[in-house]
């Protein structure tokens, strides 16, 4: 029975750690301004189009 208690505690701690990591990532993501987000999305789109066409990704 003691092992189940440790397993339960480990599961709870894993859930807390996952929630903390998600919250940290969300805070980092919200610090982008609109221009930075737009530029990153355009760059990712250009890379995806180049990958579809078989071209090397654009530099920069």
pTM above 0.75, yes or no: no
For residue 31, the model assigns a pLDDT of 82
Q: pLDDT digit string (tens) for 3-29?
A: 899 999 999 999 999 999 999 888 887
Say if CB 8 and CB 14 are below 8 A apart.
no
Which residue's structure tokens are 């208690």? 5
Q: Where are the domains of the chain?
A: 2-53
Average pLDDT value over all residues in the chain = 87
Pairwise CA distance, residues 39 & 42, whole Å: 5
């Amino acid at each position: 029975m003691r092992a189940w208690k440790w397993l339960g505690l480990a599961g709870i701690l894993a859930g807390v750690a996952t929630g903390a990591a998600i919250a940290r990532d969300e805070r980092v993501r919200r610090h982008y301004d609109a221009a930075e987000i737009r530029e990153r999305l355009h760059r990712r789109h250009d890379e995806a189009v180049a990958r579809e066409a078989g071209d090397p990704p654009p530099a920069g």
